Each structure stands twice: as structure tokens, then as C-alpha cells.
């Protein structure tokens, strides 16, 4: 019992030392943020894939700060971020969908049978060939920032700061919207030709995904003191991903799908890259 009382007393004293300090001496702060975040996907090989546009993302989370000295703090926390982007495909990339509009692994589809044989088998099992024109991605991450924050002294109730570090993010959801051209078999030329474009939504290329992301996080901002230790803050941060969110070679997408079907040869599995970048606007309150 004495040990339990000693632990409880020590815990209360420690908590009191955190929360009863005045603003100048406070060693721990916590707060909340909301983060509008325009994001885009960057490719390492623009000959095959290029950025197709910026998407509006959003985030929120808990922020905690541990003071190192009067001007430096260690910043971390946890949050949820909804990011995305669009890519366009330039090398005739394509894939096969089954009769339920699910991706077919390229190793499970025999492209070497030739155009007519593939067409005949597709009539019976419902598989269809498509050329991929663009893909729009929506992904959800649990994000943990690891940052060093350097801040000025109080200037008319404002403090200005810069921060440098990185983000560790775990992907919890990924959905793709693909703009595709169906490839229709033409009896006269014994080849596959475009049969018009369409869009499929809520796709998840499971085997191609990498579920973790690590990236750079740098930014500038300002705090305004409201009262005591309570401040509001605004910062603008640049995010740059270091990890390809796809595996380097796709299990689903192949290069020049229409040409390779016509040649009765197995297409090359497509190389792919999508690194997530963005501008994060953080608005929040610290206590």
C-alpha cells in the first residue's frame, strides 16, 4: 500500500509540475491542429508516369511539445491525414479486369496466346483488357511528426518559429479512381483497338501498395498568445515523401498492353512510382 501511495503521489507531483508552471517555464504543451493540405504525387520516371494534378487533402491531430531550452522544443504527436494526387500514364500501360471489375494479377493471365485466343477465352470468363490513362489516388495515413522547433522570444504577443524534421506515416486506406480505355478485339486486323474511355472507382491495387511512408517536414509559422499559456498558431509546412507508395514493379499493370497482345508475347511488368508531396497549412491551439 505504501508503495502504491508513493507512486500515486509522485505521479500527481509530476503532473502538477507540468501543468502548474507559468508560460515562460512550461516544459510541456499540448494542443490540436487542423491541416488543409494540397497534395500531389511525384514520379521518379517521367517518361512513363507524370504528375496529373494537385488534390486538396486534409488532416487533423494532437500536437505535443517538449521544451529543450528557452528557444528550442521537440514536437511530436499523432494525427490522421487524408492525402492524394493524380498521375497520367504515357507508355501504353494497362491491365486485365475480371467480370467483377477486380484487378487480375498479370502472372495469372496468359498474354502469349495471341489476340484471337485471348478474345475467345474472354468471352467465356468475362476478363477484359484495358489501357490505363490516368489514376487519381485518395489515401489515409496515421501520421507521427518528429520535429525540432526553434522559436523567437515574445514580440508584442507573437512568437515566430521555424521547424525541421520528418513525418512517419502508416497507410490505413487507399482507393484509386482509374480512367481507362477498353481494348476491343477487331476481327479484321486481328488486334485490340480502343473502344472508348470510362472511369472505375473505389479500386484497391492491394499487392502493389507499400503501407508506410517517411518524409521531410519543414515549415515556418507564428504563435499568438491569448492568455496565460494558451496560444493559437499558424504554420505552412512543405512535405516531401521519401518512400515510393507502390512497389517498384507492378504485379497488375503491364507496359504497352495492346501492342504486346498483338505480338503474342508476354508484356513487361510496368515500373511505377508515386511519392507523396504537399503543402500543409496547420491551424491550431496550444495549452
pLDDT band at 101 (very low <50, low <70, confident <90, very high): very high
- The whole-number pLDDT of residue 53 equals 87
Rounded to the nearest integer, the mean pLDDT of the chain is: 90
Region 215-227 average pLDDT = 97
Question: Count of residues for the chain?
Answer: 287
Question: Does residue 115 surpass a pLDDT of 60?
Answer: yes
Region 8-13 average pLDDT = 39
pLDDT tens, 43-57? 999 989 999 889 999
Question: Does residue 11 surpass a pLDDT of 90?
Answer: no
**Lowest-pLDDT choice from 45-49, 66-70, 250-254:** 45-49
Query: First CA to last CA across the chain, in angstroms?
Result: 35
- The whole-number pLDDT of residue 25 equals 58
pLDDT band at 12 (very low <50, low <70, confident <90, very high): very low
pTM score, whole prediction: 0.86
Whether the Cβ atoms of residue 275 and residue 121 lie closer than 8 Å to each other: no
CB proximity list for 157: less than 8 A, separation 6 or greater? 224, 225
pLDDT band at 23 (very low <50, low <70, confident <90, very high): low
Q: What is the dihedral of CA 136, 142, 148, 151, to 10 degrees?
A: 80
% of the chain beyond a pLDDT of 70: 91
pLDDT tens, 144-181? 999 999 999 999 999 999 999 999 999 999 999 999 99
Question: Does residue 18 surpass a pLDDT of 60?
Answer: no
pLDDT band at 73 (very low <50, low <70, confident <90, very high): very high
pLDDT band at 32 (very low <50, low <70, confident <90, very high): very high
Whether the Cβ atoms of residue 185 and residue 192 lie closer than 8 Å to each other: yes
CB proximity list for 207: less than 8 A, separation 6 or greater? 105, 247, 251, 252
Annotation: CATH topology of 27-93+135-183+200-249+269-286: Porin (2.40.160)
**DSSP states of 237-267:** EEEEE-S-SB-SEEEEEESSHHHHHHTTSPP
Region 184-193 average pLDDT = 91
Amino acid at each position: 500500500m505504501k508503495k502504491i501511495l508513493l507512486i500515486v503521489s509522485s505521479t500527481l507531483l509530476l503532473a502538477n509540475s507540468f501543468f502548474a508552471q507559468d508560460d515562460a517555464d512550461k516544459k510541456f504543451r499540448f494542443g490540436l491542429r487542423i491541416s488543409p493540405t494540397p497534395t500531389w504525387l511525384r514520379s521518379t520516371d517521367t517518361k512513363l508516369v507524370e504528375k496529373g494534378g494537385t488534390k486538396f487533402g486534409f488532416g487533423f491531430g494532437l500536437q505535443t511539445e517538449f521544451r529543450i531550452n528557452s528557444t528550442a522544443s521537440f514536437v511530436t504527436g499523432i494525427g490522421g491525414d487524408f492525402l492524394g494526387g493524380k498521375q497520367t500514364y504515357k507508355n501504353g500501360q494497362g491491365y486485365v479486369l475480371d467480370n467483377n471489375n477486380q484487378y487480375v494479377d498479370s502472372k495469372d493471365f496468359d498474354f502469349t496466346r495471341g489476340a484471337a485466343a485471348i478474345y475467345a477465352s474472354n468471352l467465356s470468363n468475362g476478363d477484359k483488357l484495358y489501357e490505363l490513362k490516368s489514376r487519381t489516388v485518395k489515401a489515409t495515413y496515421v501520421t507521427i511528426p518528429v520535429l525540432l522547433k526553434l522559436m523567437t522570444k515574445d514580440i508584442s504577443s507573437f512568437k515566430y518559429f521555424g521547424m525541421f524534421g520528418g513525418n512517419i506515416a502508416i497507410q490505413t486506406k487507399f482507393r484509386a479512381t482509374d480512367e481507362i480505355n477498353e481494348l476491343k478485339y477487331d476481327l479484321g486486323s486481328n488486334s485490340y483497338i480502343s473502344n472508348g474511355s470510362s472511369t472505375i472507382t473505389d479500386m484497391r491495387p492491394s499487392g502493389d501498395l507499400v503501407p508506410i511512408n517517411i518524409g521531410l517536414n519543414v515549415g515556418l509559422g507564428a504563435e499568438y498568445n491569448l492568455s496565460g499559456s494558451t496560444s493559437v498558431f499558424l504554420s505552412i509546412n512543405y512535405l516531401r515523401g521519401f518512400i515510393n507508395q507502390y512497389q517498384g514493379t507492378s504485379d497488375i499493370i503491364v507496359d504497352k498492353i495492346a501492342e504486346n497482345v498483338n505480338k503474342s508475347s508476354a508484356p513487361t511488368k510496368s515500373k511505377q512510382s508515386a511519392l507523396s508531396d504537399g503543402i500543409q497549412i496547420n491551424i491550431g491551439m496550444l495549452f
